[in-house]
Amino acid sequence: MIKKSLLFCVFVFYFTTTKAQNADKQLGAWYMYNGSHKIADKFAIKTMAHFRYYEVLSEFQQEIYRLGLNYTISPKVNFTVGYSYVNTDTEFKISSRNLEEHRLYEDFNISGKLKDLKLRHRLRFEHRFFNTFSSHWFRYDLNANYPISKNWSVYAFNEIFLNIDKSKKIVQNWTGAGFLHKLNTNLKIKLGYFYQKFPDNVFHRLQIGIILNTNHLKNKK
């Protein structure tokens, strides 16, 4: 039943996509890989690759590659420092030169639980470097996850973006929800939808991804 519902949602999202030429009128998609690889009792390597499109299956928008080192402070608190490379096509349906970006970031993660409801707070400081300028951001993400069966769960999130360099600091807000399916101990798949709100427009995006978690410490033992 759940699988049929997911397929139905995908088809509805796809076939209701408007044909207008404005980027904010399109249903886009993010194809995502996220990984966490434990290498010591308190350390893990964080990896990420995202491929983002203005439309579901075409019109490249952005690619992001991220690498970080995570340190566990306690079972509920951890910290990550890392680097991201970003390549963005800033124009929709128009030929243009892509914008390259390098980012340094620091994440502070706090997790908690209310019965079966899992909560995670992520505070991120992000430093973005372009060819001729730089900018500094603060992001706060609240993520909730609730199991609906042994291998299925639902998630919801809201993330606020503050550009520290601007007078009007709140420049983005993301809100979304979806499903997670556990394939095995290490691998999950993710399917969801989210809404990106900017000062002048909004984007609607599908999220389709895989999450890979490995423990190399077990292999050493």
- Per-position DSSP letters for 103-164, written without gaps between them: EEEEEEEEEEEETTEEEEEEEEEEEEE-SS-EEEEEEEEEEEEEESSSSEEEEEEEEEEEET
Q: Where are the beta strands (DSSP E) in the chain?
A: 27-38, 43-53, 60-74, 77-88, 99-114, 117-129, 134-147, 152-163, 170-182, 187-197, 202-215
Average pLDDT, the chain: 89
> Predicted confidence band at 91 (pLDDT cuts at 50, 70, 90)?
confident
Strand pairing class (27-38; 202-215): parallel
Taking the C-alpha atoms of residue 107 and residue 80, their distance in angstroms, rounded to an integer, is 5
134 or 2, greater pLDDT? 134
Could you tell me how far CA 73 lies from the centroid of its own chain? 23
Q: What local confidence, expressed as pLDDT, does residue 218 receive?
A: 65
pLDDT digits (tens, 9 = 90+) for 9-50: 444 344 333 333 466 678 999 999 999 999 999 999 999 999
Report whether pLDDT(153) > 90. Answer: yes
Is residue 32 a contact partner of residue 205, using CB atoms and an 8 Å limit? no
Q: What local confidence, expressed as pLDDT, does residue 217 receive?
A: 84
Is residue 137 a contact partner of residue 128, using CB atoms and an 8 Å limit? yes
Taking the C-alpha atoms of residue 147 and residue 165, their distance in angstroms, rounded to an integer, is 40
- CATH code at 2-220: 2.40.160.40
- In this prediction the pTM is 0.85
Report whether pLDDT(216) > 70. Answer: yes
Q: What local confidence, expressed as pLDDT, does residue 92 receive?
A: 74
Amino acid at 124: R
Give the residues across from 50 on adjacent strands.
32, 64
Q: What local confidence, expressed as pLDDT, does residue 23 receive?
A: 64
Q: What local confidence, expressed as pLDDT, does residue 26 receive?
A: 83
Q: What local confidence, expressed as pLDDT, does residue 168 receive?
A: 77
Q: Which percentage of the chain shows pLDDT scores above 70?
A: 86
> Predicted confidence band at 96 (pLDDT cuts at 50, 70, 90)?
confident
Per-domain boundaries in the chain = 2-220
Q: Which percentage of the chain shows pLDDT scores above 90?
A: 75
Report whether pLDDT(193) > 90. Answer: yes
